Chains A and B, each alone.
Chain A
Amino acid sequence: MTEYETVIGLECHVELSTRTKMFCGCVNEFGAPPNTNVCPVCLGHPGTLPVPNETAIEYIVKIGLALGCGIAPRSLFHRKNYFYPDMPKNFQISQYDLPVCVAGHIDIEVDGETRRIGITRVHMEEDTGKTTHAGATGRIAQADYALLDYNRAGVPLVEIVSEPDIRSPEEAAAYLREIRATVEALGVSDVRMEEGSLRCDANISLRPTGSDELGVKVEIKNLNSIRSLERALTYEEERQAAALAAGEPLVQETRHWDEDQGSTLTLRSKEEAFDYRYFPEPDLPPLEPDRGWVESIRASLPELPAALRARFDKDYRLKPAQALILAGSREWADFFVETVKLGAAPAAAANWMTQDVAGNLNKAKLELRDAPITPQHLADIVRLVEDDTISLTGAKQVLEEVLASGADVEKVVEDKGLRQVSDTTALAALIDEVIAENPDPVDQVRKGKDGAIGFLVGQVIKKSGGSANPKVAQELLRERLSGS
């Protein structure tokens, strides 16, 4: 039986967070009422002249440099001609044979191993308008007509094309996470997949293991989350493997991921002939970035996630899985560093953030930035656990309250009565009662059966309403039972 190897390449689209669109002064914002950020340029009215946004050019150079690309001394805009109402002028301004950035790479981590994925090119283009397919069923295939909102038409869009170096759906997900973290660190996009400011199409094919040739490739569209990407690729990998095993021919095509059905479907446009007739956009002179300017941008690049991970590993000795999460976004990284600066032990801060904080936020479907918790809150919680003021269970309750209300940690501890009683005189009375009430276990401990001590500690804690410090209670019990 032939063994197959999976070959995946990704095309990521990143909407830049400039104030205005790529070729006109319309405001670039998400969520405005339909067709309110439009002008003659982005509506494709005759006689209008596009002029590129200099901040968008700066941003794409930043992305290219962060991905180790060369910045082309000269690059051109082209018109990509097609008939589809998402661009009212019947073409999209894009780049063709001379993109701004070429030949880079990005390192990803999968199962503790580093893999280098090549970047073919990074080019500048404009986003298209938003199409809503309308009709009785709400399904794209049965739509009666379409509605167009051109607020997004002309928003600066950067396309990052990878080499077909990715070998599994897991690697594809890791690649997309790394791209997202890198672009986020650069501060040039919101990279929110749920709002479409980061989108991704995947090319996947299978070939006999060891072969250098590429198999018949399928392009998958409509991947709206990292999870969809991984699911769709896993589905497609299995579909292609089954077809090859059965000797069925595969066709090169575009397939649409259906999240609800968990499968990919053939998507065929009415316009069967794809002939984009790219030609240089005569209204836009070439870009010839000044070398000195490019170098000044290179010098000003922030610390990127891979470097941050290496630093976290070196400075804080974090577990690789924790470093991956904490260095994965600027927001989490800053929160972590600040918490440590406020006195929390790095291991404790990392544990809390990657487990309880992440878990609670996930459950509440909240981003860290949208929750009222601050590094001071977390540092306080870590400190109070460390000095035995509160128990681990109590600390989890405090965290939940802080995540919900942002209340002061000490206040939550008092309000909920979570302070552990470590005061020996306060505990002594309780311990006397427990000893008097439980003669059998007491006898067992005295005879050296240590297992019973846990039961007695439990009784003390129960009597205290959960506030007794178990460590201190045990010490006092032992003292009392060994003495007499």
Chain B
Amino acid sequence: MPVEIDIEHVARLARLALTDEEKERLHAQLGVIMEHAAKVGEVAAEEVPPTAYAIPRSNVLRPDEPEPGLSHEAALAGAPEDEGGRFKVPRIVEME
């Protein structure tokens, strides 16, 4: 069963600039994945509710106890840029 994919929309949502060649290739690959998923839907019985979880678990919680995290230096080590102990990123909002 063929599945419609708007590859331009998907690329925009993922903030990916794709070449035409990549669009064609990824469109085909995503199509295969979607068709595979659709097949699961075909064989799933009516009485089986849809789930997002592979194992039937619930209420996996942790006590409210502090645990050591990263040092300030380690936390910023991966940042391309930082300033005043903060991660520095490009401007975000435009007001009209």
Chain B residue at minimal CB-CB distance from A33: B85
Q: Which residues of the other chain, B, contact A148 by a CB distance below 8 angstroms?
A: 86-89
Size class of the contact patch on chain B: 35 or more
Interface residues of B in 26-82 (CB under 8 A from A): 52-53, 55, 57-70, 72, 75-76
Check A26 against B66 for contact (C-beta < 8 Å): yes
Check B70 against A39 for contact (C-beta < 8 Å): yes
Q: Which residues of the other chain, A, contact B87 by a CB distance below 8 angstroms?
A: 35, 85, 88, 147-150
- Complex CA distance for A51 and B64, rounded to whole angstroms: 11
CB distance from A251 to the nearest CB of B (A): 12
Interface residues of A in 140-171 (CB under 8 A from B): 140-141, 143-150
Main secondary structure of the interface of B (DSSP, over half): loop
Decide if B83 is an interface residue (CB 8 Å cutoff).
Answer: yes
- Complex CA distance for A267 and B55, rounded to whole angstroms: 43
Decide if A133 is an interface residue (CB 8 Å cutoff).
Answer: yes
Q: Which residues of the other chain, B, contact A84 by a CB distance below 8 angstroms?
A: 92
Show the binding face of A for B, using Cβ within 8 Å: 18-20, 24-27, 33-40, 42-43, 51-57, 74, 76, 81, 83-85, 88, 131-135, 140-141, 143-150, 256, 265-270, 273, 275, 277, 279-280, 282, 284-289
Show the binding face of B for A, using Cβ within 8 Å: 12-13, 15, 52-53, 55, 57-70, 72, 75-76, 83-96
Q: Which residues of the other chain, A, contact B58 by a CB distance below 8 angstroms?
A: 74, 285-288
Main secondary structure of the interface of A (DSSP, over half): loop
20 sample A-B contacts, Cβ–Cβ < 8 Å, listed by A number: A25-B68, A36-B75, A39-B69, A52-B62, A53-B61, A53-B64, A54-B63, A81-B13, A85-B87, A132-B86, A134-B83, A140-B93, A141-B95, A143-B93, A147-B87, A270-B93, A273-B12, A275-B13, A284-B60, A285-B53
Check B91 against A133 for contact (C-beta < 8 Å): yes
The 3 closest A-B pairs by CB, nearest first: A25-B67, A39-B69, A141-B95
